[in-house]
Structure 1
Amino acid sequence: NELVGRIPPHLGNISSLRGLSLVENNLEGEIPASLGQLKSLIGLNLALNKLSGTIPRSIYNSSRLLYFYVGDNELQGSLPHDVGVTLPNIQRFSAWGNQLGGIIPISFSNATELVIFDISQNNFYGRIPDIFGNLKKLERVQIGESKLGKHST
């Protein structure tokens, strides 16, 4: 696709929306916080765009969300410490190729449905938490090209 511009905030008003895929376009600007109001949303794919800013906290409160893809954008910030609690049903969490940083939240141990976890090519640092062995459905963890094992500067 060749969509340009920003993601319209009014998409957050479509209460029956279960999936939103805007993958591989030229969308820029911030992810509208209004998307977190979509209580029926189970899939959000915003990968392969030019989105910037931080991921709105409201997105992490979408407890029905199963699929979350924001890879290959220009997103910054850190993941909330309670992300695994607020997204308990998440199955695929993919945020590779951004400028995200901080530590990997240990709360991901609560995301017992997690199958794919990809935060490679970011600026995460510190230790790899001892959580992945407890996630029985986990098939793939990708955390390469980060700063894990190093301290923040």
Structure 2
Amino acid sequence: MISLFLRGNRLSGRIPTTLINNSALAIMDLNSNFLQMELPSNIGDTLPNLWALSLSDNMFEGQFPASLGNASFLSIIYLASNNFTGQLPSSLGNLLHLTDLKLDENNFEAKDDQGWKFLDALSNCGSLQVLSLNDNQLYGPIPHSVGNLSASIQRLEFGNNYLSGTVP
């Protein structure tokens, strides 16, 4: 199986291990269901050909798996409206084909320099067009490294967080 589209259903529980271990899978769209689990820490290793991961509007929890940075074809990541927590990994900077990163309405944190390192790493993503982190736990001033993001960036969304200071 190369594509899986099960968006807008009433699916609940966990994603079966057989799907997460399908190395041929390129597109996984499970938006708008009732799925609840932590994504496996090795998901980027078991889905090396993944091009689009769309899991918004579910009940996923836990940390953003750093191994997603190993899925080198990954272009689209939609994880909005879930219960993810913790800091975003710098391994996002490995995704050279990344165009859309939508992580709104979670509990991702950036409270200090360490928490904002993912933004520095995203400067490697020369195709990035959309970075959306509305409604998370981002604190303090926006790092100056935001100016190093791709020239192709079209939308940068940091609304409804706890940002302060001046706009760089």
Match of 1:59 among 64, 68, 75: 68
**Cα deviation, residue 34, structure 1:** 4.3
Question: In structure 2, what is the equivalent of residue 50 of structure 1?
Answer: 59
**Cα deviation, residue 117, structure 1:** 0.4
2:6 counterpart of 1:6? no
State the AA in 1 paired with 2:122.
F
The question of whether the paired residues in 2 share the 8 Å contact of 1:9 and 1:32 is answered with: no
The question of whether the paired residues in 2 share the 8 Å contact of 1:45 and 1:69 is answered with: yes
Alignment of 1:49-88 (within 5 A): 49-84=58-93, 86-88=94-96
Q: Deviations over 1:56-82 (max 9, x none)?
A: 221232121000000000000101134
The question of whether the paired residues in 2 share the 8 Å contact of 1:114 and 1:137 is answered with: yes
**Cα deviation, residue 120, structure 1:** 0.8
Length-normalised TM-score, structure 1: 0.89
Distance 2:74 2:123 in 1: 16
Question: In structure 2, what is the equivalent of residue 125 of structure 1?
Answer: 139
The question of whether the paired residues in 1 share the 8 Å contact of 2:48 and 2:70 is answered with: no
Match of 1:141 among 153, 156, 168: 156
The question of whether the paired residues in 2 share the 8 Å contact of 1:96 and 1:120 is answered with: yes
Matched residue of 1:29: which SS?
A: coil
State the AA in 2 paired with 1:49.
N
Distance 1:33 1:10 in 2: 15
Q: Deviations over 1:4-35 (max 9, x none)?
A: 10122221221211100000000012112343
- Structure 2 runs not aligned, ≥5 long: 1-8
After TM superposition, the structure 1 stretch with the greater mean CA deviation from structure 2, 16-25 or 128-137, is 128-137
Matched residue of 2:36: which SS?
A: strand
Q: Deviations over 1:89-133 (max 9, x none)?
A: 210001100011023321111111001100110001232223444
Matched residue of 1:125: which SS?
A: strand
Length-normalised TM-score, structure 2: 0.82
Instruction: State the Cα RMSD in Å.
Output: 1.6
Question: In structure 2, what is the equivalent of residue 109 of structure 1?
Answer: 123
Percent sequence identity over aligned pairs: 32
Distance 1:129 1:108 in 2: 12
After TM superposition, which residue ranges in structure 1, 4 or more long, deviate above 4 angstroms? none
Distance 2:15 2:42 in 1: 10
Matched residue of 2:60: which SS?
A: strand
Distance 1:118 1:9 in 2: 29
